[in-house]
Amino acid sequence: MAVRRWASSIPNLILTVGLGYFVVWPLVAIIGRGLLPHSHLRLAAVTDVFTDARVRSVFGFTLWQSLLSTVVAVALGLPIAYGLERVRPRGAGVVRVLLTIPFALPTVVVGAAFIAEFGAGGPLRSWQWLHTTTIIVVAHVYFNLGVVVRVVGTRWREFDEQLIDAARMLGANRVRTFASVTWPAIAGSVVNAAAIVWLFCLTSFGVITTLGGLTKTTIETEIFRLTTQELALDRAAALVVVQLLTVGIVAVVCARFVGSRAVAGEHAARSLVASRRSRRAWSVSLWSLAAVMVLPMLIVVQRAFETGGGGFAALRDSSRFGWRPIDSVATSLQSAAWATLFSLAMGTMAAFIVGRRAPGWRALNALTTLPIAVSAVTLGFGFLIALDRPFDLRDRWFLVPLAQAFVAAPIVLRLLVPTMQSIAPQLREVAALLGASPVRVTTSIDIAILLPALATAAAFAMAISLGEFGATSFIARQNQPTMPLAIARLLGRPGIGSQHAAFALSFVMIAIIGALAIFAGTVQSAASRRRGMFR
């Protein structure tokens, strides 16, 4: 027992110290800078930022566009989730995957896709949506619709249709049945999905940077502007504090709402009995929506090749841009490879502690999840102002992959913990009785069973690291941009040639992330078949 306790204590200590220094300390430094700008307590510092008319406008626009985006995403996602999980027309599984693809793409690539579609030379350029609130809301809905479908659809899939049959037999009409039976069962998942979408829209950085232009600014982009252009670090820190308070209040309210609406018990789901005509109508509608979701990616590919490959040729032209955009591919792959190793190390150690319910697992679980609760921009800003003591780490090569690893580690943990918890304790006990050492038990049982999940987690971590934009914008070296930074720079330059180069680089990112998604799907399918053979 003592050996087992030490085996969990050492990784717990390593993770706690690492997360404390690289995540908690930068966050504390930001809060301290926002509340203590002149080395004495000034609680009014947070409210002082609103004396500036520009900041009030930025804060209002941030709330307005994020709430509108969330409402539209939920309103569209609910009927889609219903059709996929209750009606289940032919091809529902493929449609579900296609709806989720945009969420797996980097926000900068999504922005590039909408510029290719609505910008100069695009098929929908006559709509004149570029640099308007409309295109920002549409991009956010496009990016987050799959979240609503997945989160609400999972709960709807588990809902017992017999409850609806009983209510109808007792004389309740469709509206009364939905209000009294269906809604109480799915309300928690709807609020949960809305909170996730709202958080992503509130802290959106890549979409606003690429599509908002000079007139549309949110808290995230204002923090970046104050930090990099005006060097007003105190005001930027105060804005971060305001954002954290807003997110915290909404998180508490949502947690209480979800808890109060929880419905106990799970039931075997059955698909809705629908007529052939109804199923055909649902199938046409859902496949049409899937085509709309895939269209921007196809337009990016078309725009990348429309000048005879000129966009790809421009990636190697250093005279036009002063730097070679193609070099960002190697920079991103190298950084993402290190980030994947870092995040797998952190996620695996945390999964052993959380999955086994070792001492301190709750605190470590919350600490590992903290980078998701705060935005990537906040993390990058915190690195910039806090990691200069006791040693100045801000110009070290490993800082970018480390920031990307902290963003990916919570996802790695979530992917590994279910597999870790599925391992029967009896397997370890039998191995120990047969004389296996604790290290041998871990390698021959835990690691062996975790391997498929580790491969899937590695693919997801690589994709997340490749697309990370917010934190990297603060700490990446100017002469070594990653692919998202290079795409944003190219889109910000005047001229159609720069846009074509951005589309070509976006195509490279889509191809790499698509390959990672295929790899992850193949590993998951193989693991599922393997589990089925031993049932």
Tens-digit pLDDT profile for residues 328-373: 999 999 999 999 999 999 988 888 888 777 777 788 888 887 887 7
- What are the structure tokens assigned to 60, written together? 């209002």
pLDDT of residue 438: 66
State which fold the 2-29+52-533 domain adopts.
Answer: MetI-like fold (1.10.3720)
Closest CA to 191 of 257, 94, 97: 257
Spans of all domains in the chain:
2-29+52-533
| Mean per-residue pLDDT, 82-104 | 78
| Mean per-residue pLDDT, 278-299 | 82
| Mean per-residue pLDDT, 291-308 | 83
Over 50: is that where the pLDDT of 39 sits? Answer: no
- What are the structure tokens assigned to 26, written together? 């930068």
User: Model confidence over 423-466: pLDDT tens digits?
Assistant: 666 666 666 676 666 666 666 666 777 778 888 888 888 988 99
- Residue where the block lists tokens 């520009």: 54
Fill in the amino acid letter for 137: V
Could you check whether the bond before residue 390 is cis, i.e. omega within 30 degrees of 0? yes
Over 60: is that where the pLDDT of 311 sits? Answer: yes
Rg (CA), the chain: 24
| Mean per-residue pLDDT, 362-389 | 82
Measured CA distances, 478 to 64, 222, 314, 472, 485 (Å)? 33, 20, 19, 11, 10
User: Containing H/E element for 79?
Assistant: helix 53-82
DSSP label of 217: -
With a CB cutoff of 8 Å and minimum separation 6, the contacts of 418 are 453
Fill in the amino acid letter for 394: R
User: Model confidence over 52-82: pLDDT tens digits?
Assistant: 778 788 888 888 899 999 999 999 988 888 8
